[in-house]
Structure 1
Amino acid sequence: MSPVQQPRPALARRLRALRETLWPDAGITQGQLAQAFGGNKPLSISLISSWENADKPVAPPTKRLEAYATLFATRRSLDGGTLRVLPVHELTDGERTRRKELLEELLGLREGRHLGAPGSARDIWTFDEDQNITIVCARLPEKYRQHLSYADSESADFVSLYTYADPDALIELFGHIRSRNPDNNVKFCTSEELTADDYTSHLVLLGGVDWNSVTRDVIERVDLPVEQVGRADDAEHGGFRVQQDGRPKLFEPKLDRRGHLLEDVAHFYRGESPFNRKRTVTVCNGMYGRGTLGAVRALTDARFRDRNTAHVHERFGDVESFSIISRVPVVGGQGLTPDWTLEENRLHEWPEAAE
């Protein structure tokens, strides 16, 4: 039987996710999609519903998947208050790239291919079905928890997430990975809660060697020419040390005289897991929390992830391990998503060239 005759539940879930979660504030309905896809002759709402029904999925024909890809390639599809599919020739270069990637993803899901597996040109946060993914954060040190009742397990107000370091990066990444991997078991825990089986799953490590012991253990076991220098005291803010032109170079965060952060440094590393060669390990790290969040958002922020993903594959090709150190500007106390396509934002890349 052809792939169209064997529709995949993953495609149905992805189509529903596009409608409900890509632009959640828009509240797009199945009726609006039916109108947008049909134009002067609207499709039936029941047909749209059948495409989104993971229990009894009906796979849309290629023409309709092309319409999905075009519509969700740009938020301009919502301009004017009426949802519509823009003509392809009206899309910008970036929107055409997004349309191409999304169409490849949807066709791959219809045919049971995993275009988003690690190493593909689409999205490195998509893994093969039924592979476990574990996100590991550091536990917030006691000195930062001791006066916070929400972090006290004996308190009636206890909330476990208050004991986590980098919760903003965790929430951002957990939601993205869950949406990309609806058929996978995705969990998060602190480094102290990690089990033996967790080590052999796809590991995603948030935060650096100062607090996250698993990040420290992994970095010691992989071939990575980047060393994180910890923050020894308030006068030293650490950084990432590399060898450049045969000499050590330290990339440091920037602070003003009052200690306000002006620019953090983010490190993103992806490679083969030292604990299971059929799984990956990913490190999203910064010298401060806004650097860690920047390392995450480089490949989750809808405004930047497509171009940054394209840069990764153009720059590194099919290598199993790669690393990018980048600037994270801080404006008004907010860390900005790094654009890896701008040379001035990329402080260091390894390996030096795709093999």
Structure 2
Amino acid sequence: MNISKLIMDSLSGLLVAFIGFVIGKSWDFLKLKIHIYAGQWFWYPQKAKPIIQGKIFLFLGERGGLLTAEGEFEPLVHLEDAQSVIKLKGFLENYYKEIIVTTNDSLINWDYPVISIGGPVSNSITRNVEGHGFYPLRFLGTPYKGDAKRAIGSDDGADFFSPRHDENGSLVEDVAYIVRMKSPHNPKNILLIFAGCYGRGTYGAIDYILSTNNINMVKRTCGPDFFQLVVRTSISSSKSIKNVLVYHSEIP
């Protein structure tokens, strides 16, 4: 047995493995940087300086929950809205030094960018902004009562998007809108809204915009300013989701 050759072959194998590892890690790092750079225009106010700096407020609404021992309803956050916050917060750490999550809109400082998560049923910011007609589509038929059918559309009916349920009543498709607009409280900053008919649509809208390909396409289609998008989310039996952009419109 040629010991020297065996050692050289082993070292060569280790070197090849090491080079492959380094290249793999470098490629993963490069993809992450491309992903972060691609989304910077969306998550930052216009002409903001590069990362990581400043703060952003992430607001999600609450709904009536279970009775407390004192006989009062304890507000609860939708599970899927909470999952959306967890997913989004981790991504925003690539841009912002401080991310403040709150369910109390009185704690929001509008001197900073704000993200509103959830539809008008539970989210007061989404509900209040909708009432001023800043963008073309809104939630139709609100406030919802009982088993009312939910939908997003225009008042004239020209655009209409609604969730879909199967024969057992299970949700198989949801719709949500994404809005990037000037903050109504501070036009120098941005307000981002992710609002679905149900929580699954809200989660799907966030998942959609976190894709590098999708956010680049939105920039080409709508420009880097202000717009409204509608995303349809399909839910399979395995609970995996597929998100498709079905509407886009620039807004002033």
Aligning the two structures, in what range does the TM-score lie when normalised by the shorter sequence? 0.7 to 0.9
Matched, 1:311 2:221: no
Whether the 8 Å contact between 1:210 and 1:231 is mirrored in structure 2 is: yes
TM-score, with length taken from structure 2: 0.75
Question: Cα distance, 1:174 vs. partner?
Answer: 1.4
Matched, 1:198 2:109: yes
Equivalent position of 2:200 in the other structure: 290
Unaligned runs of 5+ in 1: 1-34, 44-65, 74-97, 106-114, 154-161, 339-344
Q: Give the secondary-structure state (helix, strand or coil) at the position aligned to 2:122.
A: coil
Matched, 1:145 2:31: no
Equivalent residue letter for 1:232: Y
Unaligned runs of 5+ in 2: 1-14
Question: Cα distance, 1:233 vs. partner?
Answer: 3.4
Give the structure with the higher percent strand.
Answer: 2
Whether the 8 Å contact between 2:178 and 2:193 is mirrored in structure 1 is: yes
Following the alignment from structure 1 to structure 2, what is the Cα–Cα distance between the partners of residues 279 and 36?
Answer: 50
In 2 relative to 1, CA 224–127 (structure 1 residues): closer, same or farther, beyond 3 Å? farther
Equivalent position of 1:156 in the other structure: none
Following the alignment from structure 1 to structure 2, what is the Cα–Cα distance between the partners of residues 72 and 37?
Answer: 18
Report the RMSD for the aligned CA atoms in angstroms: 3.7
**95, 101, 121: which is aligned to 1:181?**
95
Q: Give the secondary-structure state (helix, strand or coil) at the position aligned to 1:311.
A: helix
Following the alignment from structure 1 to structure 2, what is the Cα–Cα distance between the partners of residues 248 and 221?
Answer: 20
In 2 relative to 1, CA 36–306 (structure 1 residues): closer, same or farther, beyond 3 Å? farther
Q: Give the secondary-structure state (helix, strand or coil) at the position aligned to 1:248.
A: coil
Q: Deviations over 1:19-69 (max 9, x none)?
A: xxxxxxxxxxxxxxxx789739x99xxxxxxxxxxxxxxxxxxxxxx9865
Whether the 8 Å contact between 1:69 and 1:100 is mirrored in structure 2 is: no
Whether the 8 Å contact between 2:40 and 2:95 is mirrored in structure 1 is: no
Equivalent position of 1:170 in the other structure: 85
Whether the 8 Å contact between 1:231 and 1:238 is mirrored in structure 2 is: no
Equivalent position of 1:93 in the other structure: none
In 2 relative to 1, CA 238–99 (structure 1 residues): closer, same or farther, beyond 3 Å? closer
Question: Cα distance, 1:128 vs. partner?
Answer: 5.1
Q: Deviations over 1:70-115 (max 9, x none)?
A: 2445xxxxxxxxxxxxxxxxxxxxxxxx48826x94xxxxxxxxx8
Matches within 5 A, 1:236-315: 236-242=148-154, 247-300=157-210, 305-315=211-221
Question: Cα distance, 1:267 vs. partner?
Answer: 1.1
Equivalent residue letter for 1:351: E
TM-score, with length taken from structure 1: 0.55
Aligned pair count? 229
Following the alignment from structure 2 to structure 1, what is the Cα–Cα distance between the partners of residues 102 and 216?
Answer: 30
Equivalent position of 2:27 in the other structure: 70
Q: Give the secondary-structure state (helix, strand or coil) at the position aligned to 1:187.
A: strand
In 2 relative to 1, CA 196–348 (structure 1 residues): closer, same or farther, beyond 3 Å? same
Q: Give the secondary-structure state (helix, strand or coil) at the position aligned to 1:314.
A: helix
Identity of aligned residues (%): 19
Following the alignment from structure 1 to structure 2, what is the Cα–Cα distance between the partners of residues 147 and 257?
Answer: 35
Equivalent residue letter for 1:218: V
Ranked by relative contact order (alpha carbons within 8 Å, sequence separation 6 or more), the top structure is 2
